[in-house]
Structure 1
Amino acid sequence: MPPLFMLLLLPSSAASLTALVETVESQRRRRNRGWRKRRARAMGQCYGKNVSVSEDDGAAQTSANGAGEIVPGMPARKSRGGATAPLYSYGAGAAWPSPYPQGSASPLPVGVSPSPARSTPRRFFGRPFPPPSPAKHIKAALAKRQGPPKPKDGPVPEDGTGEGERPLDKNFGYNKNFGAKYELGKEVGRGHFGHTCSATAKKGEIRGQLVAVKIISKAKMTTPVSIEDVRREVKILKALSGHKNLVKFYEACEDTLNVYIVMELCEGGELLERILSRGGRYTEEDAKAIVVQILSVVAFCHLQGVVHRDLKPENFLFATKDECADMKLIDFGLSDFIKPDERLNDIVGSAYYVAPEVLHRSYSTEADIWSVGVITYILLCGCRPFWARTESGIFRSVLRADPNFVDSPWPDVSPEAKDFVKRLLNKDFRKRMTAAQALTHPWLRDLQQKIPLDIVIYRLVKSYLRATPLRRSTLKALSKALTEDELFYMRLQFKLLKPTRDGFVSLENFRMALLQNATDAMRESRVVDILNALEPLSYTRMDFEEFCAAAISPYHLEALDGWEQIARTAFEFFEREGNRVISIEELAQDLNLPPTAYSMLKDWIRPEDGKLNVLGYTRYLHGVTIRSSNTRHHR
């Protein structure tokens, strides 16, 4: 509203006063519309084109010229292994000092540290501007895990209780003789929930051996969720075993003050330190060796029904200082068990590596694949694919911006490497390669590494067995148009099922292949239950041709540059062998669509003969996206 002295200078007629009120009201409406538009953009709407991601709070823009580049000689901070890292290094990980006052809660999720940028005032039309979604969700998730901030004055209860609250049970049931079995050494790392020290075993099978001990203070376990996080981390480490790129777990102990997780000591330092020591990036050949190890252990975890949720260079350690030493995946503090068809909804991870669907609060194992894509991008060019000076800016970049593949050094990177990264960083999680599938990509194929069993094969075969005859016929036609690269992956997966001499597989083949790879983690996540959905295979068998039709994913093929040609070729097979007269009503029923969708389906059917046209065929393969209600609400 105009100031009072301005009103006194205006004409006093009723008409003029009415016009003034209308003008002020019109300005207010325009201002509110602008506010709503900015808020909608901040809420994480995703657009299918390149966008410039700027900070509403006055921070610098995310540029396409490598603003997130890691350059040796920049101001540095100490990393967990003692080496230095640039002031705005890759991960928003545990090593960053918090910009928030001591004793106050950071408005970030567990596992997401504040960026090194100073917090800037968020103001909009002279009013406080709160962090946009999904930062709001992250603040809520952090509060749920860590509890309310402790008071600044007065003693802090050591048992995590407050007045009138029921005491938390912090007895984990672990061994209580840690001091008698291990002699602690120096600190080798520090994170959100504890620190890690070296130690020497004084008793038992590993007597005299150096180990790593993660020490988690019970005083910091102020909520039931934080206690459950520790229990789950130990359970996952104990259940997962048998992979060379997985840190070895020995045991868990406790006393009145701490929980001690005893693991293999990796003395070669973090992957992040190796990247920095190489000037910020790897050669393609050296990057391949790193990526293969990452994908191998990630594929193993996914097969067991474990999603890591915090994959980043800081969480991969080298076993020794040798240049060719094996890498080990560590820190399962944010990991979780997940069933094959389950979706998680809690936002956790590290800001620069978080997948878009995590911010949308509905995700599965594909979120780990996105993180692998970010790591690979960094390895190849030394820059982050998504960068901003604030966490909310990073999230907007992840949701709306596309990685830069134009500036140096990308023109000198092979087309296969660029295609590999693009297929991991697809914002549609359904179109991303799986870890096992990525190991068969042409960029990595010359390494001739062992390809693991892919759990997604079981999910796709389950869907095929439940599909309608029309759906099966479209998939059979699509499988006949597969490229040699896709057939290479299919042959390897079929071979892992150990078909009979005459080239068939049955339910028993699927069961034996899964159980041969089983650990206690697979039983905990109930992955084996998927075999119940494959029961129809106990009465029939599949040859390789039908296996390809059953195990194919149209979404994976849609991500290929040659998808249009594949779809046209597949439609030609469908015309000859599967296309038939179909009504709009029958098509809608097959797709489980309401009558309101009939008008959309008219364009799918040829009026001259009542059969699917090429548009209808490709649209039918893709299906109609309906938000799933099978979301797991926890923590």
Structure 2
Amino acid sequence: MGQCYARSIPVSDADHTYTTTTTTSASSPTASYNNHQRPQSPHRHHGRSPRPASKPATPSRPSTASTAPSPWLSPLPPGIAPSPARPSTPRRFFRRPFPPPSPAKHIKASLAKRAPPTPDNQVPVVPFPVSENSNGDASLDGLDKTFGFGKNFGAKYELGKEVGRGHFGHTSIARAKKGEMKGQLVAVKIIPKTKMTSAIAIEDVRREVKMLKALSGHTHTVKFHDACEDSENVYIVMELCEGGELLDRILSRGGRYTEEDAKTIVVQILNVVSFCHLQGVVHRDLKPENFLFSSRDENSALKIIDFGLSDFVRPDERLNDIVGSAYYVAPEVLHRSYSSEADMWSIGVITYILLCGSRPFWARTESGIFRSVLRADPNYDDSPWPSISPEAKDFVRRFLNKDYRKRMTAAQALTHPWLRDQQRQVPLDIFTYKLVKAYLRATPFKRAALKALSKAITEDEVIYIRSQYDLLEPSKDGRVSLDNFRSALLRNATDAMKESRVHEILNALEPLSYRKMDFEEFCAATISPYQLEALQDWENIATTAFGYFELEGNRVIKIEELANEMNLSSSAYSIIRDWIRPSDGKLSFLGYTKFLHGVTIRNSNARRHQ
């Protein structure tokens, strides 16, 4: 197993099963393209502009393997932390059609099945009859490669020089020849149809264009302009971002940002990711390489790119495709059951890198990285962490929690003490809708337990809940109904919501058609016991909450009734018997805290007794 510490050292790319063979310096004008090739899908580059040929000296990795006798000896100058330089970053890995024996197992077989032949990935060539469909587009044995895009790319745009090349296509600069955009420079991603060798690859292109159209209205998403096709290629026309990657800015600053500058970056990332999650979109490949600056100005806006691995997630749905980039992948992705919380883990990794210049999880091989993600804890002891504020450390820890239920959402993170700004508008959080839905379906006993817990939460948590309540625009009597939830959602709606079926959540809020919810009840409905458990003050919160529960909600309850409340079978009776006090038949403190978690018990201890 490779070293699982927050240090990165130069190693030979030969150790990586899926690393790129190019060892271009980070200062190379084409480094961002040559080292991010995606073998699985015919789209990769979004709105990138050519980088200047020369840049300030950066702590980038040498192109040869390290001769250091020990992994603890850094080849970098004194005072410079190991940087997240590109040459050692493994390429994105593939969706696996079947569960592997181990989440860290290499997936070369899957790569060979889905990627076109390369010198390192030769597969027998089986000839297929090639036919011409009615639109003149080449089709391999029935694969429909028509997208319904415009056919007049050449009449609308004049292609310029190529600025990047990936495994399935390349990106070029172009100039609009007519219309409102006449004379404007744009970025064009060109995807050859000959590379679309499977229905999955074709659907990937359709989905990416659909997402770009739906999400491009946000300040921090790359703007989508047009999509065209001809018999040979698909052309995706986007905003040209001339400021380069976030990764390059990190490197140009010696490998890390100051706390204040890091806040500016993280706030922009959280804003756009919160917007995506509200629409029911999970990005699934958040990393510094996938954020571009719109211009070279120091205060330029940050833009999220590359929705090639993104997907629509329906309410309460769990995804199981193993996709992403090794250093940024969340543990639950490797376990093949995840949702939007996986993006929050990736943001935690990015923030960790911004603050200290090192990766929180590192190893020499991809499988070693996976083991580190699953088992190791980030290092907060080495420099510069002792000089970083406690609020910043807490912020990162609340993202890099291996239990996805304990992580903050993007909207919650914007109200964290490290980032809090009373002048900043907090975005609507789809998570509150999901919590309210669960609350309305809960039993009266469970609601009483949550109401007691809501009275014990800290002011930091109340600030977030209040911001969400205000976004619902309560009526004059200070209460909200189903109409308030619906209106707030519609104010933020895009076409992506239709694909992800976010509106289905409103059907579960139907009880609010007949009654209203005041702020006190909204607090009870929108708190998560799992997230509160991640707080350092959880023990005090739980003790205080139990005091309220004893006064207002605790009652005599039988083992059979408690098991039914928690949807447990009779085989769990021996476990939950200890949660009821023999003296009065009411829940003990242990029983109260366990009861708040519900299904956790059934998924772990109870199953061992079945």
User: Could you say whether these structures have the same fold, taking a TM-score greater than 0.5 normalized by the shorter chain as the test?
Assistant: yes
In the TM superposition, residue 184 of structure 1 has moved relative to its aligned partner by 1.2
Once the two structures are TM-superposed, the CA of residue 502 in structure 1 deviates from its matched residue by 1.4
Contact 1:241–1:519 under 8 Å retained in 2: no
The alignment partner of 2:213 has SS state of: helix
**Cα distance in structure 1, aligned partners of 2:206 and 2:357:** 36
SS of 2:421's partner is helix
**Where do 1:164-563 residues align within 5 Å?**
166-446=141-421, 448-563=423-538
**1:381–1:409 contact (8 Å) kept in structure 2:** yes
- What do the CA deviations read for 1:435-474 (whole angstroms, capped 9, x no partner)? 0000000000137422000000000000000001111000
Q: 1:107 to 1:569 in 2, by over 3 A?
A: closer
For residues 182 and 297 of structure 1, the distance between their equivalents in structure 2, rounded to whole angstroms, comes to 29
Hey, what's the Cα distance between the residues in 1 that align with 2:516 and 2:204? 43
Match of 1:76 among 16, 21, 25: 25
5 Å matches for 1:137-156?
138-139=107-108, 142-143=111-112, 145-146=114-115
Whether the 8 Å CA contact 2:579–2:592 is kept in 1: the answer is yes
Q: Which residue matches 1:44?
A: none
CA-CA distance at 1:97 after TM superposition: 10
Q: Is the 8 A contact 1:75 1:87 kept in 2?
A: no
**What CA distance in whole angstroms lies between the structure 2 residues aligned with 1:269 and 1:160?**
42
Offset of 1:197 from its aligned partner? 1.2
Query: Secondary structure, in 3 states, of the residue corresponding to 1:445?
Result: coil
- The one-letter code of the counterpart of 2:505 is I
Report the equivalent of 2:8.
67
**Alpha-carbon distance between aligned partners in 1 of 2:566 and 2:559, rounded to the nearest angstrom:** 11
| Pair 155,609 (structure 1): closer, same or farther in 2 beyond 3 Å | closer
Look up the match of 1:109: 94
Q: Is the 2:104–2:368 contact (alpha carbons within 8 Å) kept by the matching residues of 1?
A: no
Residue equivalent to 2:19: none
CA shift digits 1:314-356 (9 cap, x unpaired)? 1100000000000110110111111121110001111100000
The SS at the match of 2:225 is strand
Shift of the 381–166 alpha-carbon distance from structure 1 to 2, 3 Å rule, reads same
Q: Does 1:134 align with 2:75?
A: no
SS of residue in 2 equivalent to 1:523: helix
In structure 2, the residue corresponding to 1:527 is in which secondary structure? coil
Return the alpha-carbon distance in structure 1 between the equivalents of residues 169 and 484 of structure 2.
45
In structure 2, distance between residues paired with 1:87 and 1:627: 48
Which residue number in structure 2 is paired with residue 42 of structure 1?
Answer: none
Deviates more, 1:387-396 or 1:249-258: 249-258
CA distance in structure 2 between the partners assigned to 1:298 and 1:68 by the alignment: 31
SS of 1:450's equivalent? coil
The answer (yes or no) to whether the contact 1:554–1:622 under 8 Å persists in 2 is yes
Q: CA 1:501–1:253 in structure 2 vs 1: closer, same or farther (change >3 Å)? A: same
The letter of the residue matching 2:94 is P
Deviation at 1:172, TM superposition (A): 1.4
When residues 370 and 138 of structure 1 are mapped into structure 2, their CA distance, relative to the original with a 3 A threshold, is farther
Letter in 2 for 1:390: T
Deviates more, 1:550-559 or 1:216-225: 216-225
Q: Which secondary structure does the structure 2 equivalent of 1:76 belong to?
A: coil
Equivalent residue, structure 2, for 1:122: none
**CA distance in structure 2 between the aligned counterparts of 1:153 and 1:577, rounded to whole angstroms:** 72
AA matched with 2:4: T
1:50-95 Cα deviation digits (max 9, x unpaired):
xxxx24xxxxx2345x23599xxx99354225478535997797x7
Cα 1:153–1:225 change in 2 (3 A) is: closer
CA distance in 2 between counterparts of 1:75 and 1:224 reads 33
SS in 2 for 1:172: coil
Q: 1:62 corresponds to which letter in structure 2?
A: C
In the TM superposition, what is the alpha-carbon distance from 1:142 to its structure 2 partner? 3.8
Matched with 2:135 is none
Alignment of 1:3-14 (within 5 A): none
Q: Are 2:563 and 2:573, in contact at CA under 8 Å, matched by a contact in 1?
A: yes
| 1:602 matched to 2:571 | no
**Local SS of the residue matching 1:582:** coil
Distance (whole Å) between structure 2 residues aligned to residue 501 and residue 338 of structure 1? 35
2-structure distance, mates of 1:91, 1:352: 10
**Which range moved further: 250-259 or 610-619?**
250-259
Q: C-alpha displacement at 1:238, in angstroms?
A: 1.1
Q: Taking structure 1 as reference, are residues 330 and 90 closer, same or farther at Cα in structure 2, changes over 3 Å only?
A: farther
| Structure 1 counterpart of 2:256, one-letter code | R
**Which residue type is aligned with residue 196 of structure 2?**
M
Most deviating of 79-88 and 320-329: 79-88
Q: Given residue 385 of structure 1, which amino acid in structure 2 is its aligned partner?
A: P
Label 1:190 to 1:156 Cα distance change in 2 as closer, same or farther (>3 A): farther
User: What is the alpha-carbon distance in structure 1 between the residues aligned to residue 497 and residue 9 of structure 2?
Assistant: 39
Distance in 1, Cα, partners of 2:512 & 2:10 = 52
Amino acid at match of 2:527: I
Are the aligned partners of 2:83 and 2:255 in contact in 1 as well (CA < 8 Å)?
A: no
Compared CA separation, residues 137 and 173, structure 1 to 2 (3 A): farther
Q: In the superposition, relative to structure 1, how do residues 576 and 92 fare at CA in structure 2: closer, same or farther (>3 Å)? A: same
Corresponding residue SS for 2:562: helix
Return the alpha-carbon distance in structure 2 between the equivalents of residues 239 and 535 of structure 1.
27
Q: Counterpart of 1:86 in 2: which secondary structure?
A: coil
The residue identity in structure 2 corresponding to 1:290 is I
Partner of 1:440: helix, strand, or coil? coil
TM-score when normalising by structure 1 = 0.80
CA distance, structure 1, for counterparts of residue 84 and residue 333 of structure 2: 17
Correspondence list, 1:16-55, <5 A = 54-55=1-2
Instruction: Please give the secondary structure, in 1, of the residue aligned with 2:159.
Output: strand
CA deviation map 1:535-586 (0-9, x unaligned): 0000000000000001111111011000000000000000000000001110
Q: Give the drift of 1:174.
A: 1.1
Q: For residue 109 of structure 1, what is the amino acid of its counterpart? A: F
Q: Is the 8 A contact 1:271 1:316 kept in 2?
A: yes
From the superposition, tell whether residues 306 and 141 of structure 1 become closer, same or farther in structure 2 (CA, over 3 Å): farther
- In 1, Cα distance between the equivalents of 2:345 and 2:541? 25
Aligned amino acid, residue 236 of structure 1: M
Tell me, in whole angstroms, the C-alpha distance in 2 between the residues paired with 1:344 and 1:141. 18
Counterpart residue type for residue 349 of structure 1: G
Between the aligned partners of 2:509 and 2:240, the Cα distance in structure 1 is 42
SS at match of 1:609: coil
**Structure-2 separation of matches of 1:152 and 1:425:** 39
Aligned-pair identity in percent equals: 70
Question: CA offset at residue 107 of structure 1?
Answer: 10
Q: Secondary structure at the match of 2:432?
A: helix
- Distance in 2 between the 1:544 and 1:465 partners? 15
Partner of 2:15: none
Q: Determine the structure 2 residue equivalent to 1:7.
A: none
Q: CA RMSD, aligned part only?
A: 2.8
Tell me the residue number matched to 1:579. Answer: 554
Change (3 A) 1:143 1:415: same
Distance in 1 (CA, whole Å) between partners of 2:113 and 2:332 is 21
Kindly indicate whether the alpha-carbon contact (under 8 Å) linking 1:107 and 1:142 is maintained by their aligned counterparts in 2. Answer: no
Whole-angstrom distance in 1 between the partners of 2:513 and 2:435: 17
Using a 3 Å threshold, how does the CA distance of structure 1 residues 143 and 232 change in structure 2: closer, same or farther?
Answer: farther
Distance in 2 between residues matched to 1:69 and 1:273, nearest whole Å: 18
